[in-house]
Amino acid sequence: MREIRLVSRPTGFPIASNFELVPSAGLELVPGTALVENLWLSVDPYMRQMMDGLWSLGAPGEGRALGRVVQSLTPAYEVGTIVFHTQGWRTHSVVTPETSRRIDLAPGVPLSAHLGILGGTGLSAYTGLKRILQLQPGETLFISAAAGGVGTAAARIARLLGAGRIVGSTGSAVKAKWLESEVGVDVALNYREGSLVDQLAAAAPDGIDAYLDNVGGEHLAAAIDVLKPGGRIAWCGAVSTYNGDGVVAPHNLFEVVEKELRLEGFLVRNNLDLRPELIEFLTPQLQSGAVVSDETVVAGFEQTVDAFLAMLRGENTGKMLVQLG
């Protein structure tokens, strides 16, 4: 049993020495608990923010995980049950039914999808599109960080919801081509190639109706410029600022007033009531192959930190996951 602990706070971009891989402290089962052997771990952009203070030094990193019950002292979980919990960055965890939930497996749906398009990643995309943006058929949607976990899930879900035109941004020509050929984005922009606002205006000459923001900064400014009057923004994240080297508020923020735009931020943890709806909506699509859970998989618990840093550098397409065992 091993765990990865945070041992120092990063200055700017994190480095491997901010963490250490150590044997787990004794894990004691008491009545009402179960021992879980983790099978999949998630690494996510929000974890970079947590490193600045929300993670305690000397403690394992918090994170979403899927595992199999190997010992149980609770009638809620029999041995072999697959559960979701948020005590990741460990090979094993002790959970209770109150701090975890059973995963009901469906034929033809990979287990890893419950950390991807059926998990918090997909729920973030679904919440932004359905509850915040209230995306309508035929509308033009812009998605930043479109090749990441939330971005790819949003593009696939938006297509199912009837979006008329989907524009996505990413950081390389290779990813842009992949988004158009594999994910179904109509126009993928490489924000490193010239003016983002000019590229966005050319991709959506009639303007955009809605914007799902995962980046903030320059991306938010470009969207504000190109949004139609009365357009909507769902602000999910601001990854451009997480290392302390970006600007959150764009220079043209007052255009939100002038164009009567609606900008609303949201936290996925406050929208968990949508999870059953998301699973019911997407399970048949995953079973038929109409939708896939886009993933980049790194094998081996000892590679968790490398996977996390690679994700922050944008080296993944889709959801970045670590497969244990």
- What confidence tens digit (pLDDT) does each residue in 156-197 have? 999 999 999 999 999 999 999 999 999 999 999 999 999 999
What value does the mean pLDDT take over residues 46-63? 88
Collapsing DSSP to helix, strand or coil, 49 comes out as helix
pLDDT-based confidence at residue 244 (cuts at 50, 70, 90): low
CB atoms within 10 A of CB 241: 17
Residues 146-159 have pLDDT tens digits of: 999 999 999 999 99
pLDDT, position 71: 97
pLDDT, position 164: 97
The answer to whether residue 238 scores a pLDDT higher than 80 is no
The answer to whether residue 240 scores a pLDDT higher than 90 is no
Q: Which fold has domain 120-269?
A: Rossmann fold (3.40.50)
Residue with tokens 């158009």: 180
pLDDT, position 243: 66
What value does the mean pLDDT take over residues 92-97? 96
Contacts of 276 (CB under 8 A, 6+ apart): none
pLDDT, position 141: 98
pLDDT, position 250: 83
Give the span between the Cα atoms of 166 and 137, in whole angstroms.
Answer: 12
**CATH class belonging to 2-116+294-323:** alpha beta
Query: In the 8-state DSSP scheme, what is residue 89?
Result: S
Q: Which two tokens stand for residue 312?
A: 């922050």
- Contact assessment for residue 256 and residue 248, using Cβ atoms and an 8 Å cutoff: no
The answer to whether residue 88 scores a pLDDT higher than 90 is no
Percent of the chain with pLDDT over 70: 97
Residues 111-126 have pLDDT tens digits of: 999 999 999 999 999 9
Residues 267-317 have pLDDT tens digits of: 999 999 999 999 999 999 999 999 999 999 999 999 999 999 999 999 999
CB atoms within 10 A of CB 300: 12
pLDDT-based confidence at residue 239 (cuts at 50, 70, 90): confident
Q: Rg of the Cα trace of the chain?
A: 20
- Domain coordinates in residue numbering, the chain: 2-116+294-323, 120-269
pLDDT, position 242: 63
Give the span between the Cα atoms of 133 and 65, in whole angstroms.
Answer: 29
Greater confidence, 58 or 142? 142
Query: In the 8-state DSSP scheme, what is residue 146?
Result: T
The answer to whether residue 241 scores a pLDDT higher than 80 is no
